[in-house]
Amino acid sequence: MGDLGGTGDDEVARTLAEVGPRLRAARMDRGVTLATLSEATGISVSTLSRLESGQRRASLELLLPLARAHQMPLDELVGAPEVGDPRVRPVPRRLERMTVLPLSRQPGALQAYKMIIDPLPPDELRTHEGYEWLYVLSGRLRLMLADRDMELRHGEAAEFDTRLPHWFGPAGNEPVEVLSLFGRQGERMHVRARPASR
């Protein structure tokens, strides 16, 4: 019985510790400044900054106007775990020439996504911290990695250090479906702020 309480306490502590980064991510996803968010919520810039950095504990009176401003349910904004149902209900996001379905729901070092990438010309090769794993579900994937240019087909996978210059997309004129695992830097590069193709 005590173990169960401890596990619950750990989960609550972890959820509370992740509120600040989630608030910052929600604001950054919308491209909103602290000053603009302050005007919309009536919460001072310094309080917002301290909330995002974890220096101030979030309270309901602070979270409700933030959820309203971000147009997000409160439980989604704070990452409250669903009780008793382990299923992830992905909500597709349409980005430029790509549909992204999150397959994991807890913030952390590693995230899983299904990506459906429309045909697009190669962009410049990019680098970021981290490691990436790709698995082709359907179609053909072109992966440019440093000085290598390769094609992966259904059922093939690739893993690589993302400090190597890289780009990936459809190998032909048809979309490609890919399962991708990557850390926060990869998520920011490929899912949140995918650069516009040339």
Q: Mind listing the pLDDT tens digit for each residue in 123-169?
A: 889 888 888 899 999 999 999 999 999 999 999 999 998 899 999 99
- Are the C-beta atoms of residues 156 and 137 closer than 8 Å to each other? no
Look up residue 26 and give its two tokens.
């929600």
CA distance linking residue 175 with residue 116, whole number of Å: 7
Q: What is the dihedral of CA 135, 18, 61, 10, to 10 degrees?
A: 120
Look up residue 125 and give its two tokens.
């090769």
Q: What is the mean pLDDT of residues 11-34?
A: 82
Q: What are phi and psi of 4, to 5 degrees?
A: -65, -40
- Are the C-beta atoms of residues 89 and 80 closer than 8 Å to each other? no
| Model pLDDT, residue 1 | 40
Whole-number mean pLDDT of the chain? 81
| Model pLDDT, residue 44 | 93
Query: Hey, how many other C-beta atoms are within 10 angstroms of the C-beta on 7?
Result: 10
DSSP category for residue 82 = P
- Band (pLDDT 50/70/90 cuts) for residue 184 is low
- Band (pLDDT 50/70/90 cuts) for residue 54 is confident
Query: Hey, how many other C-beta atoms are within 10 angstroms of the C-beta on 58?
Result: 18
Name the amino acid, one letter, at 93. R
Reported pTM: 0.52
Per residue in 57-88, pLDDT (tens digit) is 888 888 888 888 888 887 777 776 656 666 76
Q: What is the dihedral of CA 143, 176, 136, 197, to 10 degrees?
A: 30
**pLDDT at 53 exceeding the cut of 60:** yes
**pLDDT at 194 exceeding the cut of 60:** no
Q: Which domains does the chain have, with CATH numbers?
A: 2-78 (1.10.260.40), 93-192 (2.60.120.10)
| Model pLDDT, residue 112 | 85
The beta strands (E) that lie in 20-110 are given as 93-95, 98-102
| Model pLDDT, residue 11 | 67
